[in-house]
């Protein structure tokens, strides 16, 4: 049997002790101007962090690398017209995302059918599938043995929903699909994983080295692929196993470091599920449970919690500051209103603590922060041509 999923607890190995130590970076245009030229810049950042990633016994089987960008509307509109025979709705009224699927045709068909059915049940319109253009000639035997089928899903908003409600419905659709199709796959070779599903951003990632990412995903070198933000990640899976789905970026963040308080954070999130209420979600709230999905790394778990805060109506910077607060108690130079904000946040959520450098984006804004002790130092530059790196 080919190894698709990671092993469960066995002898000295326990997934509870898994950590990452990686490289993370981004480039963005300060004025939000989308252009293809940001992608070669992002590639250079990623390749420069090759030493922060890892490879196996084969030098062409990497721990993982990836890129998160704003949704490339120009490219996707052309793809839908030429490959699907569809004219996409106006921007903000359609979503696209890459899905990892089983190589078994029967399993794959069942997943695709469920995808369309659940989308319809949630009042949205499933447009169609596109095969993601790839070249796997350069990846090693280990990476190829576990390589999933990759297809790009397109969804249109229902006639009666706003863009904000549509984004929230996409979250519900993804969680329902994940609960239905991935929950039973931990002990099998089947793969179902939605990298992203959004009107705002898209993720290309996999069990690749930094040098392989742009050669593997042919979309990334297409001149019609334009973005104003590009976040990249090079993975070093400390004490764990590499896999296609655990490559980063995740849906809103990339992470270098460790969440030392992880088990307590997960337990408290689970404890909250029984008393959660939301006017925005209404009866949909139960569909997104559990908030923290099984079989995730510490970074993936963080991303799950961050996504809930965002979909519940919080701004991205606010949500990240709530999860990773500054050392504010004895901060002599912090204004009183800053301390009051952090004190209020501490009553809502405990810190996700540990050495960390985290970059985050929702496809519109982008930022970064360090842990309260600055144990994973990072630096940034602002250039004369309006780039922040």
Query: How many C-beta neighbours within 10 Å does residue 149 have?
Result: 18
Catalytic residue among 22, 67, 68, 127: 22
Nearest of 368, 383, 6, 37 to residue 185 by alpha carbon: 6
195 in catalytic set: no
Q: What is the dihedral of CA 304, 308, 352, 71, to 10 degrees?
A: 60
- Rounded to whole angstroms, the Cα distance separating 359 from 374 reads 14
Q: Which residues contact 92 (CB under 8 A, 6 or more apart)?
A: 163, 199
Provide CB contacts within 8 A for 186, sequence distance 6+. 5, 8, 294, 295
Phi, psi of 267 (to 5 degrees): -60, -40
Pure H helices in the chain: 38-48, 73-79, 105-121, 141-145, 163-181, 213-216, 262-272, 298-311, 316-323, 336-346
Q: Look at residues 54, 65, 368 and name the one whose alpha carbon lies nearest to residue 240.
A: 54
Residue appearing with tokens 């940001």: 38
Helix residue ranges per DSSP H, 122-162: 141-145
- List, by residue number, the catalytic residues: 22
């Amino acid at each position: 049997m080919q190894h698709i999923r990671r092993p469960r607890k066995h002898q000295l190995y326990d997934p509870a002790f898994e950590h990452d130590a990686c490289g993370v970076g981004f480039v963005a245009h300060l004025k939000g101007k989308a252009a293809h030229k940001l992608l070669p810049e992002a590639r250079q950042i990623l390749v420069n962090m090759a030493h922060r990633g890892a490879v196996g016994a084969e030098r062409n089987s990497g721990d993982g690398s990836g890129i998160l960008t704003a949704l490339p509307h120009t490219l996707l509109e052309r793809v839908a017209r030429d490959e699907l025979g569809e004219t996409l709705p106006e921007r903000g009224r359609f979503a696209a995302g890459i899905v990892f699927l089983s190589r078994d045709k029967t399993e794959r068909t069942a997943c695709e059918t469920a995808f369309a059915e659940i989308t319809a049940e949630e009042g949205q319109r499933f447009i169609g599938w596109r095969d993601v253009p790839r070249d796997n000639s350069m990846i090693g035997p280990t990476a190829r043995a576990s390589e999933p089928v990759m297809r790009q899903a397109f969804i249109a908003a229902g006639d009666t929903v706003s863009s904000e409600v549509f984004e929230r419905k996409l979250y519900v659709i993804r969680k329902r699909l994940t609960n239905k199709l991935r929950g039973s796959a931990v002990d099998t070779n089947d793969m179902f994983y939605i990298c992203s599903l959004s009107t705002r951003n898209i993720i290309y990632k996999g069990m690749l080295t930094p040098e392989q990412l742009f050669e593997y995903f042919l979309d990334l070198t297409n001149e019609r692929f334009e973005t104003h933000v590009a976040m990249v990640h090079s993975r070093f899976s400390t004490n764990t196993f590499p896999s296609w789905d655990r490559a980063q970026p995740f849906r809103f963040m990339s992470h270098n470091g460790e969440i030392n308080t992880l088990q307590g954070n997960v337990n408290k999130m689970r404890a909250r599920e029984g008393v959660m209420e939301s006017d925005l979600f209404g009866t949909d709230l139960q569909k997104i449970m559990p908030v923290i999905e099984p079989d995730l790394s510490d970074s993936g778990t963080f991303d799950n919690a961050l996504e809930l805060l965002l979909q519940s109506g919080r701004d991205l910077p606010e949500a990240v500051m709530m999860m990773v607060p500054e050392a504010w108690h004895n901060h002599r130079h912090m204004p009183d209103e800053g301390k009051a904000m952090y004190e209020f946040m501490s009553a809502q959520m405990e810190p996700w603590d540990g050495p960390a450098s985290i970059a985050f984006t929702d496809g519109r804004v982008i930022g970064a922060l360090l842990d309260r002790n600055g144990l994973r130092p990072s630096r940034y530059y602002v250039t004369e041509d309006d780039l922040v790196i």
